[in-house]
């Protein structure tokens, strides 16, 4: 009888161990493009701040939220200049990539390969985008 109980217990533990998934939970990245989306939110290293990108033309806004007060809830432009003509706009054309610098992203035009340095900040003078010029 002891052998049956030990065998049954071993069998149950084996089934239990194999029934758990080895695949870790991986939520969809906010920065992964969704087909057809005009606007995307990209998280920054600051838990209260996102960058809103118009994926058609490269315009960018800094979006900040708060759970404490209304003074810290705002949306401000980083760049409202369209980087391509209206005829060249295409959903998903532009995307952002975070860097190891807290306030810096790189924006990529996925059609022609042009890049820009994107700076966000709570200070007006430290916000904006700068074209990254090739050295050749």
What are the tens digits of pLDDT across the range 40-73?
A: 999 999 999 999 999 999 999 999 999 988 888 8
Distance from the Cα of residue 23 to its chain's centroid: 22
Cα 114 from Cα 28, distance rounded (Å): 26
Exposed, middle or buried by CB within 10 Å (0-12, 13-18, 19+), for 68?
exposed
CA angle 122, 50, 62 (to 5 degrees): 45
Determine, yes or no, domain membership for 65: yes
Determine, yes or no, domain membership for 30: no
CA within 13 Å, CB half, 134 = 4
Determine, yes or no, domain membership for 93: yes
Using only C-alpha atoms, what is the Rg of the chain? 23
pTM for the predicted model, two decimal places = 0.72
Determine, yes or no, domain membership for 89: yes
Mean pLDDT of 94-105: 96
**Residue 27: is its pLDDT beyond 60?**
no
**Residue 10: is its pLDDT beyond 80?**
no
**Residue 25: is its pLDDT beyond 50?**
no
Q: For the chain, what is the domain count?
A: 1
Could you list the residue range(s) of the whole structural domain that residue 94 is in?
Answer: 36-132
Q: Which residues pair with 96 in a beta bridge?
A: 107
Q: Put residue 92 in one of left, alpha, beta given phi > 0 → left and psi -120 to 50 → alpha.
A: left
Determine, yes or no, domain membership for 31: no
């Amino acid at each position: 009888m002891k052998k049956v109980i030990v065998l049954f217990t071993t069998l149950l533990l084996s089934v239990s161990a194999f029934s758990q998934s080895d695949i870790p939970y991986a939520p969809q990245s906010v920065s992964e493009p969704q087909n057809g989306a005009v606007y995307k939110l990209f998280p920054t290293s600051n838990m209260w701040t996102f960058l809103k990108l118009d994926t058609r033309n490269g315009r960018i806004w800094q979006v900040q939220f708060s759970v404490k007060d209304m003074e810290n809830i705002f949306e401000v432009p980083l760049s409202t200049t369209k980087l391509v003509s209206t005829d060249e706009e295409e959903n998903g054309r532009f995307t952002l990539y975070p860097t190891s610098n807290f306030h810096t992203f790189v924006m990529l035009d996925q059609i022609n390969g042009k890049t820009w340095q994107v700076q966000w900040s709570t200070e007006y003078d430290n916000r904006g985008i700068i074209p990254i010029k090739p050295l050749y």
